[in-house]
Structure 1
Amino acid sequence: MPGTDVLVVDDGSTDRTVETAREAGAKVLELPYNLGVGGAMRAGFRYALRHGYDTAVQVDADGQHDPREVPRLLAGLTDADVVIGARFHGEDDEYRVRGPRRWAMVVLAKVLSRLAKTPLTDTTSGFKATGPRALPIFAQHYPVEYLGDTIESLVIALRAGCRVAQVPARMRPRSDGRPSHRPLKASVYLFRAGFALLLALVRRWDVVADRATLSPEAR
Structure 2
Amino acid sequence: MRNLENTRVLIIMPAWNEADCVGSTVAEVLSLNEPYDVLVVNDGSTDETASCAAAAGAVVMNLPFNLGVGGAMRAGFRYAQRLGYQQVIQVDADGQHDPRNIREVINGLQSADISIGARFADRGDYVVSGPRKWAMKLLAFVLTKLAKTPLTDVTSGFRAGNERAIAQYLDHYPAEYLGDTIDSLVVAIRSGLTVTQVPVEMRPRQGGTPSHHPIKAAVYLGRSFFALAFALTRKRSNLKFPLTTPAEQK
TM-score (norm 2): 0.81
Structure 2: gaps of 5 or more residues: 1-31, 244-250
User: Larger relative contact order (C-alpha < 8 A, sep ≥ 6)?
Assistant: 1
SS in 1 for 2:134: helix
Alignment of 1:17-28 (within 5 A): 17-28=49-60
Q: Specify the code of the residue in structure 1 equivalent to 2:73.
A: M
Alignment of 1:52-67 (within 5 A): 52-67=84-99
Structure 1: which 5+ residue stretches go unaligned?
A: 213-219
Name the SS of the counterpart of 1:39 in structure 2.
Answer: helix
Native 8 Å contact 1:83 1:167 kept in 2? yes
Q: Could you give the per-residue CA deviations for residues 13-46 of structure 1, whole angstroms, max 9, x where no partner exists? A: 0111111111111011111111111111111000
1:117-147 CA distance string (max 9 Å, x none): 0000000011011112111111231111110
Letter of the 2:95 partner, please give it.
G
* Residue 204 of structure 1 pairs with residue 235 of structure 2: yes
Letter in 2 for 1:118: T
Query: Which structure 2 residues correspond to residues 21-36 of structure 1 after superposition, within 5 A?
Result: 21-36=53-68
> Which segments of structure 1 move beyond 4 Å, counting only runs of 4 or more?
none
Secondary structure (helix, strand or coil) at the match of 1:14 reads: coil
Find the aligned partners of 2:129 and 2:184 in 1 and give their Cα distance.
24
2:149 pairs with 1:118: yes
Report the AA paired with residue 56 of structure 2: A
Equivalent of residue 106 in structure 1, options 137, 142, 147 = 137
Offset of 1:181 from its aligned partner?
A: 5.2
SS of the residue corresponding to residue 102 of structure 2 reads helix
User: For each residue in 1:55-83, what CA deviation from the matched residue of structure 2 results, as whole angstroms up to 9, or x when unmatched?
Assistant: 10101112100110001011110000000
Q: RMSD in angstroms over aligned alpha carbons? A: 1.5
Indicate the SS of the match to 1:6.
Answer: strand
SS at match of 2:37: coil
TM-score (norm 1): 0.92
State the shift of 1:209 in Å: 5.1
> Matches of 2:192 and 2:180 in 1, distance apart?
18
Residue of structure 1 in register with 2:46 after alignment: 14
Alignment match, 1:147: 178
One-letter code aligned to 1:149? D
Instruction: Give the structure with the larger strand fraction.
Output: 2
User: Which residue of structure 1 aligns with residue 101 of structure 2?
Assistant: 69
Match of 2:76 in 1: 44
Deviation at 1:178, TM superposition (A): 1.6
Identity %: 57
